[in-house]
């Protein structure tokens, strides 16, 4: 592993397999490609519990930390200068999922974050590459967005949550699977999914997996009334699956997945069946406005929440999106008292976690991430602009057919 110290620079952490090592000793840095470069051990540390202690010498079997070789990375070998020998390279799985990280350009941009510029965002993402060899970061056509690839939805979600806690404010797109093309054939990543649930949910899980192009490879029953199932499923079929699985099994199921490789494209998958409830104007939500909106679907917010036009405030009961005015106030007259709002009863909103939010959004939506929380929004905030964009896409599709 590698960590960064404000005074010592990059610190390398690893296990000393053979021989001994001393502070100030000459060494040879061998990278993953086999290229060699002379190096020097400026400082040497060993670990005692959670503490790091500087020492003059360490022996085989010790977990050590080295300072003075800033070019080294995860998977490299630090060997004897006179008889350098590279250790077997650790295989790192290629990324299977990518997301777009961009600066926050919503009406609430800059309110809650400390690091809000594209320069800060870029520095943080490229710094992460030094300690996460499975991550890939690439610039895009615009200076405000970056393509970030990882080994799965969870891998990228952990990075997002870490950056959020560090004070970064940004927005992310829906995860998308990375395809490959070999000999003119389109291939997609496949994962082995192992599921353990109570027997009463067996049929539900098989149905969920079937809808995601999953193929059952094994099934066995346990003495405790649970069933263990093994499926081979396209990675794109697992996007958004965990929350659906937990809901279907009432939180009693266990699911684990392992990347297997690439196989020919399995076919089309059903997308999200429900549209979104979208705020038609900005302001502060009211009980009266939310009461009218909850009849159209399930809400994500409570009264007193600040919203802006184009912000996703709930899930529609139908497949299309619907604009709702959740800031609407009751116009009072001398025939109605202001206390009439007290009779309105709102259903408890659906509280989304960061994982839930990323699983929920569609291709035309984003998650706005800030240190204080997150919001769901449309990429195009204006309802009129969304209609014009949809019309252009419909015309383009009609012309190609």
Sign of the CA dihedral running 381, 386, 388, 389: positive
Label residue 343 exposed, middle or buried (CB < 10 Å: 0-12, 13-18, 19+): exposed
Higher pLDDT, 311 or 49: 311
What gap in Å lies between CA 360 and CA 243, rounded to an integer?
9
Helix and strand totals (H; E) in the chain: 8, 28
Average pLDDT, the chain: 90
In order of 87, 159, 329, 370, the CA distances from 165 in angstroms are 36, 10, 36, 8
Higher pLDDT, 270 or 252: 252
Say what the pLDDT of residue 332 is. 64
230 contacts 260 by C-beta, under 8 angstroms: no
Average confidence (pLDDT) over 164-179: 95
**DSSP annotation of 89:** P
- What are all long-range contacts of 176-180, with beta carbons under 8 Å and residues at least 24 apart? 176/97, 176/98, 176/99, 176/236, 177/96, 177/97, 177/234, 177/235, 177/236, 177/239, 178/95, 178/96, 178/97, 178/98, 178/149, 179/265, 180/262
Say what the pLDDT of residue 271 is. 66
* pLDDT tens for each residue of 319-355: 899 999 999 987 766 555 555 555 788 899 999 989 8
**DSSP annotation of 23:** T
**DSSP annotation of 362:** -
Among 60, 42, 63, 41, CA closest to 52: 63
pLDDT at 33 over 90: no
| Least confidently predicted of 3-17, 101-115, 213-227, 285-299 | 3-17
Among 130, 129, 103, 107, CA closest to 115: 103
pLDDT at 254 over 80: yes
* pLDDT tens for each residue of 94-120: 899 999 999 999 999 999 999 999 999
pLDDT class for 241, splitting at 50, 70, 90?
Answer: confident
Residues with Cβ within 8 Å of residue 98, at least 6 apart in sequence: 136, 147, 148, 149, 150, 175, 176, 178
What gap in Å lies between CA 154 and CA 98, rounded to an integer?
12
pLDDT at 244 over 60: yes
Domains of the chain and any CATH numbers: 2-80 (2.40.30.10), 180-264 (3.30.70.240), 276-389 (2.40.50.250)
């Amino acid at each position: 592993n590698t960590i960064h110290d404000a005074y010592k620079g990059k610190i390398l952490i690893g296990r000393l397999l053979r021989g001994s090592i001393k502070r100030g000793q000459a060494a040879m840095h061998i990278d993953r490609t086999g290229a060699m470069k002379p190096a020097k051990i400026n400082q040497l540390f060993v670990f005692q519990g959670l503490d790091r202690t500087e020492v003059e010498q360490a022996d085989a079997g010790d977990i050590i930390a080295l300072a003075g070789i800033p070019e080294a990375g995860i998977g490299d070998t630090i060997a004897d200068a006179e008889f350098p020998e590279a250790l077997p390279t650790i295989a790192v799985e290629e990324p299977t999922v990518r997301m777009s990280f961009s600066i926050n350009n919503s009406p609430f941009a800059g309110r809650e974050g400390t690091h809000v510029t594209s320069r800060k965002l870029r520095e943080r993402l490229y710094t992460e590459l030094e300690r996460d060899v499975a991550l890939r970061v690439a610039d895009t056509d615009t200076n405000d967005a970056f393509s970030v690839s990882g080994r799965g939805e969870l891998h990228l979600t952990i990075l997002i949550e870490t950056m959020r806690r560090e004070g970064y404010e940004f927005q992310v797109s829906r995860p998308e699977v990375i395809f490959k093309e070999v000999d003119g054939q389109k291939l997609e990543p496949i994962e082995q999914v192992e599921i353990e649930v109570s027997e009463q949910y067996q049929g539900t899980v098989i149905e969920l997996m079937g809808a995601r192009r999953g193929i059952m490879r094994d099934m066995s029953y346990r003495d405790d009334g649970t069933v263990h199932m093994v499926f081979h499923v396209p990675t794109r079929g697992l996007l958004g699956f965990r929350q659906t699985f937990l809901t279907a099994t009432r939180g009693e199921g266990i699911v684990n997945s392992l990347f297997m490789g690439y196989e020919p494209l399995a076919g089309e998958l059903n997308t999200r069946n429900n549209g979104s409830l979208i705020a038609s104007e900005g302001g502060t939500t009211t009980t009266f406005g939310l009461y009218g909106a909850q009849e159209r679907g399930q809400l994500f917010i409570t009264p007193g929440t600040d919203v802006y036009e184009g912000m996703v405030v709930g899930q529609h009961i139908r497949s299309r999106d619907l604009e709702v005015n959740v800031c609407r106030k009751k116009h009072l007259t001398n025939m109605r008292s202001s206390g009439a709002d007290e009779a309105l009863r709102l259903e408890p909103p659906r509280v989304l976690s960061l994982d839930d939010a990323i699983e929920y959004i569609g291709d035309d939506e984003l998650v706005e991430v800030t240190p204080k929380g997150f919001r769901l929004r449309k990429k195009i905030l204006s309802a009129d602009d969304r209609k014009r964009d949809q019309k252009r896409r419909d015309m383009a599709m009609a012309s190609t057919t």
